[in-house]
Amino acid sequence: MVPTARSRAPRAPFVVVVMALLTAGLVGLLLLNTALDEGSFALGNLQQQQAALADQEQALAAQVAAAEAPGSLAARATALGMVPDYRPAFIKLPTGKVTGDSPLVGTTLKVAGATPLGLVIGPAGGLLPASPSPAPSPLPSASPPPSPSPRPSASPRPSAHPTPAPAPSRS
Amino acid sequence: MARAQRLRTEALPATRGAILDRGGTPLVYDVDARGVEADPALVTDATAEAAMLAPLLGFPAAQIRHQLTVPGQFSWLAHGLTPAQGDAVIAANQAGVYVVKETKRVYPDGNLAAAVLGFTGADGTGLAGIEYVDNAVLTGEPGRLVEEVDPTGRVIPTGRSFEVAPVPGQSVELTIDRDIQWVAESTLAAQVKATKAKSGMVVVMNPQTGAVLALASVPGFNPADPVVPAGGTTGEPAVASVYEPGSVNKIITASAAIETGVVTPNTVITVPPYLMVDGTAFHDAEPHGTEHLTFTGVLAQSSNIGTIKVAERLGKATLYRFLRMFGLGSVTGVGLPGESAGLLPPPQLWSGTQAATIPFGQGIGVTAMQMAEIYSTVANGGLREQPHVVRGTVDANGVFHHALLPAPVQVIDPTTAATVRTMLQAVTTNGGTAPAAAIPGYLIAGKTGTANAVGANGRYNGGFVASFIGMAPADHPQLVVEVVLNQPQTNIYGGAVAAPVFRQIMGFALQTLRIPPSTSPPPVLRLYG
């Protein structure tokens, strides 16, 4: 009887493979952890940026809110030389007849275009100044359109700049 | 234990709700802020640190140094800094000085409606006004963030963490119109200054709903730094301050007389130059001979003697019934703290002269809010709506929930109310006491009042409270405006000092709310018989 040769599988490659696997696993874990930590650093940085931007937005929003407060607007209007006029007056369209508390009551004003929304409300004389306005108008100067086109009604608040006609708004 | 060392619990503060005007614009809201605290035990060089921090905090170095050297391990250095200022303090890296997150209330409109809004204390709890009344609604619930952190404070990504989100407070939407409020405050302040009055109040109300569109009091205060002003208050005088109304109260006497039918608008009343009641002589504001005024004329010229004679036909018990039905002697429930029910004794306790003076508004105590409610009732066809300053709440999802209000109460018949409104239009004509309240193009009904003011000792102090309360358009009123000036010095008459302010505020309100001029012709009113 021949003794069975014990197949001595080479153990070195097995050990190498296992070691390699282990090493790969460890390196992988290390890389994963490093990536996660990098991500955590990046997250921290971005969160800081976000917080800074949020603070900036808050500061700007506060500036806007303060600027649009009625007291602010009144002060700026006074600085432009305007005076408050609390007399309610109305211009009935399309005839242009003036009613309410105005020295122009009973007269008819020429209105450049009709709005389909009916009454346009504003301070007496606000739509047609007696003389050409010296202040530059912020709206583009417009000749009346050939046919009435729908446009939003003028703001009910006294406008800061007298406009020659209800001008079309550009959105 | 090791994990416990790594765990950091961060409180996540809940944003306090904002208070908005009726258009949804915030009148007060929360912003992120920073506080600076110190641990005096860890401070190394108080003088040097105070010098470093003084320009960053905006306080004198001596004050900061004091806070850095108090005994113990905690003291506050500053509150309400902007995040940028907080970052600067962190960068300065002073020993024993720490920056914490907090929130701050911001008032973009300055002192506007300060008494209505109220203010919060250092811990963010409401102490006055709507901040106090609706504190539970405005306060959110703080959250919690628990994380594992490394020694430098960075979060360990594979560590445990859990978060309980904060629940933000709900916002409260008021009935106040920001623009009408501003006009009311600025015109009232100008008149208080011009007449050298001690104080003033304005109430603007929508009679059809009871909504308070403006509530102004002068002097006001700064809600961001609520110091009680000289001669002023941080409360709301329109609900808390009790005064004798004077002739504006004649609207109740008139309503009672018309409703019970003891007189009609054209009933002629003989008005002598003086009238003896219970041993006391009563006069009118202007001396006159014996006049024959219609009841309309009695109201237009605010004759006390004419009013006493009509009230005698009514009787004490009936007059008292109408005074109570119109709300005197009860709080209005408008929703502001510190509201007074006024002073209205029952008729069995009235002195002999009180039976004569109460019909023209002396000998009883009222609040400006009660008077606005009375005129709103007559403006609204005799139907008393619940005065209120809160329209509703806005939850975290932006959904608006209307405030629930009690059902209205019919106090007088609609025809009585219409008759009284017609009579009161005579007041703003040239034959009345307040032509200065007239607004061309509109029918205006109202009443003046020039009442003896009561001093601190409960006795008349020689000053007068001048009022005008009016409604427009008189045929179908959509607005009631009340102006009260406390002890004006230049002129005491309501028609002279309160009526012009009424005209400005009512004019602006009609314009801004787009209420068109009256189309009915003015009524023909007979003042003399």
| DSSP E strand stretches across B331-425 | 383-384, 390-394, 400-402, 409-410
Range scoring the smallest mean pLDDT among B32-41, B196-205, B342-351 = B32-41
Higher pLDDT, B182 or B63: B182
Handedness of CA B431, B254, B365, B272 (dihedral sign): positive
Higher pLDDT, B483 or B87: B483
Cis, peptide link before residue B168, omega less than 30° from 0: no
Instruction: List, as ranges, residues 107-126 from A with C-beta within 8 Å of B.
Output: 119, 121, 123
CA distance linking residue B336 with residue B432, whole number of Å = 35
Higher pLDDT, A51 or B510: B510
- The per-residue pLDDT for B202 is 98
Spacing of C-alpha A58 from chain mean position: 14
How far does the CA of residue A70 sit from the closest CA of chain B (Å)?
Answer: 6
Determine contact, residues B256/B318, Cβ cutoff 8 Å.
yes
Tokens for B316, please give them: 């004490």
Instruction: Name the DSSP class of B491.
Output: -
> Among B135, B158, B162, B167, which Cα is nearest to B147's?
B162
How much is the mean pLDDT over chain A? Answer: 71
- The per-residue pLDDT for A115 is 55
ipTM over 0.85: no
CA distance linking residue B495 with residue B231, whole number of Å = 25
Q: Which tens digit of pLDDT belongs to each residue from B224-249?
A: 988 888 878 889 999 999 999 999 99
- The per-residue pLDDT for A116 is 54
Determine contact, residues B15/B63, Cβ cutoff 8 Å.
no
Spacing of C-alpha B293 from chain mean position: 37
> 3-state secondary structure string, chain A?
CCCCCCCCCCHHHHHHHHHHHHHHHHHHHHHHHHHHHHHHHHHHHHHHHHHHHHHHHHHHHHHHHHHCCHHHHHHHHHHCCCCCCCCEEEEECCCCEEEECCCCCCCECCCCCCCCCCCEEEECCCCCCCCCCCCCCCCCCCCCCCCCCCCCCCCCCCCCCCCCCCCCCCC
- The per-residue pLDDT for B356 is 94
Q: Which tens digit of pLDDT belongs to each residue from B319-354?
A: 999 999 999 999 999 999 999 999 999 999 999 999
- Cβ–Cβ gap B441/A101 under 8 Å: yes
Kindly indicate the confidence band of residue B476, based on its pLDDT and cuts at 50, 70 and 90: very high
How much is the mean pLDDT over chain B? Answer: 93
From A33, A41, A86, residue closest to B508, measured CB to CB: A86
From A39, A52, A121, residue closest to B157, measured CB to CB: A39
Please report which helix (H) or strand (E) contains residue B212, including its range.
strand B211-218
Residues B185-208, buried b or exposed e (16+ Cβ, 10 A)? bbbbbebbeebebbbbbbbbbbbb
Kindly indicate the confidence band of residue B426, based on its pLDDT and cuts at 50, 70 and 90: very high
CA distance linking residue B379 with residue B411, whole number of Å = 12
- Cβ–Cβ gap B109/A87 under 8 Å: no
From B26, B507, B514, residue closest to A101, measured CB to CB: B507
Cis, peptide link before residue B488, omega less than 30° from 0: no
Predicted confidence (pLDDT) at residue A171 exceeds the cutoff of 50: no
Q: Which tens digit of pLDDT belongs to each residue from B59-108?
A: 899 989 998 888 888 999 998 898 889 999 999 888 889 998 888 999 99
Q: Is B222 on the interface with A (CB under 8 A)?
A: no
CA distance linking residue A67 with residue A63, whole number of Å = 6
CA distance linking residue B68 with residue B42, whole number of Å = 9
Range scoring the smallest mean pLDDT among A6-10, B2-6, B405-409 = A6-10
- The per-residue pLDDT for A1 is 62
- Cβ–Cβ gap B84/A62 under 8 Å: no
To probe the interface with A, which of B102, B178, B213, B511 has the most A CB atoms within 10 Å?
B511
Predicted confidence (pLDDT) at residue A161 exceeds the cutoff of 80: no
- The per-residue pLDDT for A112 is 59
- Phi-psi domain of A134 (left: phi exceeds 0; alpha: psi -120 through 50; beta: other): alpha
How far does the CA of residue A40 sit from the closest CA of chain B (Å)?
Answer: 6
- % pLDDT > 90, chain B: 77
In single-letter form, the type of residue at position B362 comes to Q
The pTM for the full model equals: 0.84
Residues of chain A neighbouring B507 (CB-CB closer than 8 A): 86-88, 101
Q: Which tens digit of pLDDT belongs to each residue from B277-312?
A: 999 999 998 899 999 999 999 999 999 999 999 999
Residues B252-281, buried b or exposed e (16+ Cβ, 10 A)? bbbbbbbbbebbebebebebbeebebeeee
Q: Which tens digit of pLDDT belongs to each residue from B95-116?
A: 889 998 888 999 999 999 999 9
Range scoring the smallest mean pLDDT among A86-90, B24-28, B145-149, B474-478 = B145-149
Residues B335-356, buried b or exposed e (16+ Cβ, 10 A)? bbbebbbbebeebeebeeebbb
- The per-residue pLDDT for B151 is 82
